[in-house]
Amino acid sequence: MARILIVDDEPDIRALVRRYAEREGYETAEAGNGIEAVSMCREADFDVIIMDAMMPELDGFSACKEIRAMKDIPVIMLSARGEEYDKLFGFETGADDYVVKPFSPRELMARVKVVIGRHGGISSDKIKAGNIEIDTLGRIVYISGTKTELTAKEYDLLLYLIKNDGIVLTRERIMDAVWGCEYYSADRAVDWQIKQLRAHLGGCRDYIVTVRGVGYKFEAQH
């Protein structure tokens, strides 16, 4: 049974999400603020966190960053702010999805199912995204059934993009995740590596979408 941590400073919102989550068969736990959520994640594991963005003491964005620094738990951010900038900021802090309030509880549960499925699928030995298949144990990549030779860095970049399927990633975030460091010219380094990777993906090269002024996102299905 999947476990969901519901984090919101409004008890009514927590109760609403808990009711729908338990109808879907999920086990739930609750936190009233970001500090409590971080503390609970230190002590226990969850399959997904539903996190309100604006909370007193420690906001959801900061709590998300702290949690993702110690555990790989997917986070769905809830926020009354629905501007593109706010969504991009949420993704940059590590959120896997972003839902604008007021929201449909049924739609939220559908998103929970997708996020849990995506996260669980990545831990498998075999990962499939469109016509790309990856054997993570052997670090082997197949494009439309044909084995493709990638450099170590190209492989790491592809795997990271697929793990974040559909999420807009800034060049800085890609640099930090794949290279593990800050770089004086992240834009140039990431752009060059993306170009090299696309050249090896053949007919799947368009899975890597350029988001002008921001970075890139992976979309196996357009």
Examine the fold and report which residue of 103, 122, 141 is the final residue of a domain before the chain moves on. Answer: 122
Dist CA 190 CA 157 (whole Å): 9
Domain count, the chain: 2
Question: Model confidence over 166-198: pLDDT tens digits?
Answer: 889 998 888 888 876 555 455 788 899 999 999
For residue 12, the model assigns a pLDDT of 95
Residue 84 makes CB contacts below 8 A (sequence gap 6+) with: none
Q: What is the pLDDT of residues 64-85, one digit of tens each?
A: 989 988 888 889 999 887 677 7
Question: What residue numbers bound the domain in which 203 lies?
Answer: 126-218
More confident residue, 125 or 75: 75
Q: Rounded mean pLDDT of 78-99?
A: 79
Are 88 and 150 within one domain? no
Do residue 11 and residue 31 come from a single domain?
Answer: yes
pLDDT in tens, 35-57: 999 999 988 888 899 999 999 88
pLDDT of amino acid 196? 94
Given a cut of 80, whether residue 26 has pLDDT beyond it is yes
Mean pLDDT of 119-144: 78
Higher pLDDT, 140 or 179: 140
**Residue-level pLDDT at 121:** 44
Average pLDDT over residues 132-141: 86
- Same structural domain for residues 192 and 90? no
Per-residue model confidence (pLDDT) at position 221: 65
**Residue 66 shares a structural domain with residue 162:** no
The CATH number for 174's domain is: 1.10.10.10
